[in-house]
Amino acid sequence: IEAEPVPDGIIIEGGTPGGGDIDARGDQRIVMAFRVASLRASAPIRIHDCADAATLFPHFLALCAQVGMRVAQEDIK
């Protein structure tokens, strides 16, 4: 898989994404991108630091579940 950073994001090409842990660093765009990428991933993707993601698209998690994505929210204290 090739990844190229660009001024307003990242271009990812090739292969099938595997699974793993992603640190979203509170960036809603990263959260939503990897939630969608998880549809094609060969293993689960766990996204950390995504508490602020609801501010951009409050119902995104519910919509993901409606289209068949296996998503869950964990509150880690």
What are the pLDDT digits (tens) for 39-73? 888 998 998 888 766 777 788 878 888 888 877 77
Range(s) of the domain holding residue 6: 2-66
76 domain residue, yes or no: no
Total of domains in the chain:
1
Q: Answer for the pair 10, 4: CB distance below 8 angstroms, yes or no.
A: yes
Q: Of 52, 43, 41, 50, nearest to 72 (Cα)?
A: 50
pTM, rounded to two decimals: 0.67
**Which residue type occupies 51?**
A
Please give the structure tokens belonging to residue 69: 């994505």
45 domain residue, yes or no: yes
73 domain residue, yes or no: no
25 domain residue, yes or no: yes
77 domain residue, yes or no: no
Q: Is the pLDDT of residue 8 over 80?
A: yes
Q: Answer for the pair 17, 1: CB distance below 8 angstroms, yes or no.
A: yes
**pLDDT cut 90: percent of the chain above it:** 12
71 domain residue, yes or no: no
Q: Answer for the pair 21, 50: CB distance below 8 angstroms, yes or no.
A: no
Most confident of 13-17, 31-35, 37-41, 43-47: 43-47
Report d(CA 15, CA 44) in Å as an integer: 16
